[in-house]
Amino acid sequence: MKRPAQITTILLLTALSLQLLACGDTENSGNETDTSTESSATETEKPFLDNLGEYDFNGQDFTMLIRENKVDTTAPEEETGDVVSDAIYNRNAKISERFNVNIVIETLPDDSNMWNSTLDGEVMAGSDVYDVVMPDYWWGCETRGLFLDLHDYDSIFEFDQPWWTAGWNDNAEIYGQLYSAVGSMSLDLIKNQNVMFFNKELVDSLNIGDIYEIVESGDWTLDKFNEFIAIGSSDINGDGELKLGDDQLGYACALQAGRAMLASAGMKIATRAEDGAWEYNFMNERFVDRYDEIYNLINNNKSVVYDTAQSLENVFKGGRLLFLGASIGSTDYLRDMEIDYGIIPMPKMDDSQEDYVTYNFGTYYMAILLTAADPEMSAVMLEALNAESYKNVVNVYYDTALKNKYSRDEESRKMIDLINSNCFFDFTFVNETSTDRIVMWFFDQIVNKQEGIMSLYEGRRAGFEQKLADLLETYKKNAEEN
């Protein structure tokens, strides 16, 4: 069994494939006999999307190590009446029965040191307790040489299928090695999308116009955004200042939505080189313009507040905020908002940018430890659980819970489709630990009010490029040795 070198997970542009599958329709399309519709559907309907076939694991335990706060979205203990939770529960029961396995859940707190030390200890001790582990992407667990190459099980995994997130997994592969994967089991791929919420009553009273139409026409740019937030601000208490909560402001955001502004303006750090490696060649006038635009928005616009100390959702509920930058998951906190709101993507840099870009602030991934007792079972279960999630969980969350339960108008539902279709992960974002957090460094400079980004970057260039070179070298060596 080969031991992987330091792992990197690379992400560029990902399109989240969330279209619902029509059960049985495609296989029936060529039938010419007009027999009973019910009988035909029963005969041709495929009960499982995957192509795994027959496996019987004789009642073995299949043990997943997950984060404590992901139990409800990974393995709820019982049905509760919540449509999403029950869909996940039924998924696990269905796959457990199909392969004759007993799904067991073990948890660890959200502590990166604890996760790394636990996984190190398992492999060093030769322990086969865990069949699959699911750490968060930015803890660096994947850099410790602990996981199997998933391509060793290509007869099981079908990474070209829609239940796997191609934007993540294609770019997590370097020199033919793939040690972690992301798929439809992770609802974070939807929840953690950063968007803009807008107060519909304020939009109407300010005669701003049809924002949905502006988005659909492609005219939702930073210039248009700045125009609206200037109109939407008002010194209500007359003290000569604009203060969050006391006055009416145009826009407020915290850390993740602030970072999302750079991504939505088209910022990309790493690009793939001709030899399949990655390189940094992003520093040019266009990049500087993006940086300066967001710098001025955050630091020099009195209609905008960057705040990490209070609940911006509560401020938005109070009706004195025209736009709020936050994740789609914030709909959970806005359910009882009395004022109508809408959801749209973050603005483009300008008209020359072809697509809106959605920034997702991360997810856990799935990996198989070197010491897993039965790697084939681990691979089969991951393939099956992700396929079943795509068929019967994602659609429930996406359509029933999110689009119907939380959003308040048909236009917002269309916007959510648009938002999810343009999700972006940068190579350096998913490799935070291995790339010295370069992608986060730029927004850090903005909130620390550091101007002159080109000269600032020159002071760090050598170090950033060396970290990238070290990262790629580990893959190259491993490919040569195996």
Reported as a single tens digit per residue, the pLDDT across 222-273 is 999 999 999 999 989 999 889 998 999 999 999 999 999 999 999 999 988 8
Average pLDDT over residues 77-90: 95
Which strands sit side by side in the sheet containing 101-108, from one edge to the other?
101-108, 60-67, 132-133
pLDDT at res. 38: 43
The structure's pTM equals 0.85
pLDDT at res. 409: 84
Task: Give the model confidence (pLDDT) of 11-70 as tens digits.
Answer: 333 333 343 232 233 333 333 334 344 444 444 577 899 999 899 999 999 999 999 999
* Distance of alpha carbon 389 from alpha carbon 391, whole angstroms: 5
pLDDT at res. 482: 64
Angle between helix 222-231 and 285-299 (nearest 10): 10
Residue with tokens 């019967």: 392
- Report the first-to-last Cα separation within the chain, whole angstroms: 10
* Distance of alpha carbon 455 from alpha carbon 461, whole angstroms: 10
pLDDT at res. 44: 56
Task: Give the model confidence (pLDDT) of 191-212 as tens digits.
Answer: 999 999 999 999 999 999 999 9
Task: Give the model confidence (pLDDT) of 386-402 as tens digits.
Answer: 999 999 999 999 888 88
* Distance of alpha carbon 438 from alpha carbon 461, whole angstroms: 10
